[in-house]
Chains A and B, each alone.
Chain A
């Protein structure tokens, strides 16, 4: 039973947890950068929010959008840290951080080129 569990949910070692920790920190910072760049791009009038949920919150107001976006990602990172013993948490963090970095890089280049 133990062997089966380990095969299905491999555990992370100490090093993996360190990587996970810093990935989650990066993810949170990238989320803030994404929020700021999106808000700035929307204020320029050239961009539209393609995420329907965020579009709703941006239309409701900046405070609501900030609270929702920071809240969701903070809860998400805390949940991932809570299940830090599992390697799946690390995979998820790598994927999310990579995608967020790509989005932020794209937006930053767009704003700079403008």
Chain B
């Protein structure tokens, strides 16, 4: 009977058969291959098989490392968020929102556009979604330190940024609320006016390549620029129409309005009507073909809001503020709704007023505890920026149709 091959005739058989394991460093003997290296079990989970306990422990350890990293990142995010100085206190009110300055920097440069409320806070440009109250920091970008007050249309927010106020070169940025993206719109020279946005256009005053002042209009989607005029002006745009006051006197009251229709490439001027004697100019706004402005006469204690049609020049007095009350802000117009603010004769504060050009008397939009600095209207939404002591705040309210 042939002897079973063992490979090592001098090695005694073990009780279970086969060879005993060689000790470390021991020669297994001639003709015996080295013991195979220990093989780590496959690292796949093995579909349908239960993972090895050490596999589960290994996954647990890696999950802990992952969790530690996630906790670190989340902590960094929330610490940074808590240290931000642009975040105000936001509360919902019965008629809208109340935004109160929470740090040293005052709120300013408020604008309304579509579902968004925008303002400046120090160098920060902040946007709030009026539906959710969610805040978004639009600017400045990492290379800028200075911003100018923003302007908003239904879809776009436009503002200027620069490395410094005196840099002599600024850039215009746009935020598109439809795509939630921010991008560079244009580079400009010196900032001679704030931007004004309407629809898909913006206009502003800046220095031209030749060094002189100029007014430009920009198509926001394409960035294409059109020279509106080669003169100094603080323009406001509404649709195809751009206007700016010219030949302002010492009180700021313009002697005329310059008007340019971008679609018809036509320029004309209009003399402001229904002006007060020694009127001090408060500011102006444009919607459709109607221009509105505010003026006060401190000698007579009167304030007036005037609306004037830019085509036929017909003017109407929207509001006359008398009896110790005073007009405290430039008016704002959207469609046929004109909004302004009055400081009351009593020390109880101010009130935001409204009137529809189509007819009907003026009405109180809201009483304000403090001094109203500016107002804005877009559709049925009214916003006002007010100061009380050292604190600034913005409130919004809905105007019934």
Please determine whether B62 and A19 come into contact, CB atoms closer than 8 angstroms.
yes
Segment among B70-78, B204-212, B286-294, B334-342 that sits at the interface with chain A:
B70-78
Complex CA–CA separation, A98 to B54 (angstroms) = 22
The answer to whether B182 has its CB under 8 Å from any CB of chain A is yes
Q: Which residues of B contact A98 (CB under 8 A)?
A: 65-66, 68-69, 72
Q: What residue of chain A has the Cβ atom nearest to residue B68's Cβ?
A: A98
| A-B contact sample (4 more), CB < 8 A, given A14-B40, A109-B73 | A19-B58, A22-B59, A98-B69, A105-B69
Q: Which residues of A contact B141 (CB under 8 A)?
A: 48
The answer to whether B231 has its CB under 8 Å from any CB of chain A is no
Please determine whether B55 and A18 come into contact, CB atoms closer than 8 angstroms.
yes
Q: Which residues of A contact B81 (CB under 8 A)?
A: 113
Residues facing B in A57-96 (CB within 8 A) are 94
Given the interface pairs A17-B40, A102-B76, A109-B77, the reply to whether A22 lies near B62 with Cβ below 8 Å is yes
Q: Which residues of B contact A56 (CB under 8 A)?
A: none
Given the interface pairs A45-B183, A97-B65, the reply to whether A102 lies near B73 with Cβ below 8 Å is yes
Please determine whether B66 and A106 come into contact, CB atoms closer than 8 angstroms.
no
Complex CA–CA separation, A98 to B62 (angstroms) = 10
The count of residues in chain B whose C-beta lies closer than 8 Å to any C-beta of chain A is 33
Please determine whether A44 and B77 come into contact, CB atoms closer than 8 angstroms.
no
Q: Which residues of B contact A15 (CB under 8 A)?
A: 54, 57-58
Q: Which residues of A contact B78 (CB under 8 A)?
A: 109
Please determine whether A101 and B54 come into contact, CB atoms closer than 8 angstroms.
no
> What are 16 of the A-B contact pairs (CB < 8 Å)?
A15-B54, A18-B58, A21-B58, A22-B59, A22-B62, A26-B66, A44-B180, A48-B141, A97-B69, A101-B65, A102-B69, A102-B72, A102-B76, A104-B70, A105-B72, A106-B73
Given the interface pairs A22-B58, A23-B62, the reply to whether A101 lies near B69 with Cβ below 8 Å is yes
Q: Which residues of A contact B67 (CB under 8 A)?
A: 101
Central interface residue in A94, A98, A109, by most chain B CB within 10 Å: A98
Mark contacts of B130-157 with chain A using CB atoms, 8 A cut-off: 1 yes-contact digit, 0 otherwise.
Answer: 0000001110011000000000000000
Please determine whether B181 and A106 come into contact, CB atoms closer than 8 angstroms.
no
Mark contacts of B27-60 with chain A using CB atoms, 8 A cut-off: 1 yes-contact digit, 0 otherwise.
Answer: 0000000000010100100000000001101110
Complex CA–CA separation, A21 to B68 (angstroms) = 18
Complex CA–CA separation, A113 to B78 (angstroms) = 11
Q: What residue of chain B has the Cβ atom nearest to residue A114's Cβ?
A: B136
The answer to whether B345 has its CB under 8 Å from any CB of chain A is no
Complex CA–CA separation, A46 to B38 (angstroms) = 53
Mark contacts of B103-143 with chain A using CB atoms, 8 A cut-off: 1 yes-contact digit, 0 otherwise.
Answer: 00000000000000000000000000000000011100110
Residues facing B in A22-55 (CB within 8 A) are 22-23, 26, 43-46, 48
The answer to whether B61 has its CB under 8 Å from any CB of chain A is yes
Complex CA–CA separation, A114 to B69 (angstroms) = 22
Please determine whether A105 and B182 come into contact, CB atoms closer than 8 angstroms.
no
Please determine whether A101 and B182 come into contact, CB atoms closer than 8 angstroms.
no
Please determine whether B77 and A106 come into contact, CB atoms closer than 8 angstroms.
yes
Q: Which residues of B contact A23 (CB under 8 A)?
A: 62, 65
Complex CA–CA separation, A7 to B141 (angstroms) = 51
Q: Which residues of A contact B70 (CB under 8 A)?
A: 101-102, 104-105
In whole Å, how far is A56's beta carbon from the nearest beta carbon of chain B? 17
Please determine whether A21 and B69 come into contact, CB atoms closer than 8 angstroms.
no
